[in-house]
A = this chain, B = another copy of it.
Amino acid sequence: MKIAIYGYGNLGRGVECALRQAPDTECVGVFTRRPPESVQTVLGAPVYHVDDLAAHKENIDVIIICGGSATDLPAMTPALAKEYNVVDSFDTHAAIPAHFAAVDAAAKEGGTVALISGGWDPGLFSLNRLYASAVLPEGKDYTFWGRGVSQGHSDAIRRIDGVADARQYTVPIDEALEAVRSGVNPDLTTRQKHLRECYVVAEEGADLARIEQEIKTMPNYFADYDTTVTFITAEELAANHSGIPHGGFVIRTGVTGKDGEHKHTIEYSLKLDSNPEFTASVLVAYARAVYKAASRGEVGCKTVFDVAPADLSPLSAEELRAKML
């Protein structure tokens, strides 16, 4: 399987590393909008300009598109799906149906296979919501995120006057998790589910009280949450908050029996040291599935819901039945 990486930020670097861990894959190279000579890859993958992609077409089985969901992927994925098998990590939940329609049309036009919204949420978390609700139709499910860095919330803090740098952690609240696990099906407000922890480096002489007030009252981002603000030095931020951890929980509780007398809890959780590297690892597994589907002559757009689990593995069906079932 010859895989190309399209876009080379944190996610693209993660894909380069993940491909090395997948012995049935080969990294064809990185395609970037920047001058190729300005890009240094982690493991030495060759770098090309996106304008030179067509010259490599015969050598590419699947492109893993590592762009952002806001503006990159809605344009890139349909455009590339007209010519290549592709995988992306489109994660704007509300816009998935429209993105699916655009990519499906492009893939059908091009005779290719595309998989959108790979990763862990959407992605592995979505799978767990689906499996759990199919098995326990009378029940309720909950998704919690964290403890992990929210890039969007960190950026929102950085835009405040007097802020030099910031890191925001989304933290699930233990009491809410326990209430959900108990099976009482609680109705939880936004504030009851997650805390927001902010670590802020202020510019010299900045009004700390004003910054804290601006963060805590920011609509959409913080006003609906219990938020803590801790001012730290740039050195402390670099030393203690340079990672990009994340994770979370998908929990479904439900009942079975003659009178719903038996309770069941299904819980899935992730604890990730590196959000982009883990997301990249999921994308590589789905690139394998796309390759297999294309090899069978399938065409069109898929999501994680449409992929049989066996297609994600390098093992044969026989090996899987003997070793993992």
Contacts and interface: CB of A to CB of B under 8 A. Distances in A.
Interface residues of A, number: 69
B131 A312 contact: yes
Copy tally for this chain in the complex stands at: 2
A280 B264 contact: no
A317 interface: yes
A273 interface: yes
A277 interface: yes
Given A129-B324, A133-B324, A320-B130, A305 B308 contact: yes
A313 B127 CA distance: 11
A128 B312 CA distance: 12
Contacts of A133: 313, 324
A58 interface: no
Nearest to A284: B135
A200 interface: no
Contacts of A321: 96-97, 100, 303, 305
Interface of A: 14, 17-18, 21-22, 42-43, 93, 96-97, 100, 117, 122, 124, 126-131, 133-138, 181, 256-258, 261-274, 277-278, 280-282, 285, 288, 303-310, 312-314, 317-318, 320-322, 324-325
28 contacts: A17-B256, A17-B258, A21-B137, A43-B258, A96-B321, A97-B321, A124-B131, A127-B131, A130-B309, A130-B310, A130-B313, A134-B285, A134-B288, A134-B309, A136-B281, A137-B314, A256-B274, A256-B281, A257-B274, A261-B273, A262-B278, A265-B271, A266-B270, A303-B321, A303-B325, A304-B325, A305-B324, A306-B317
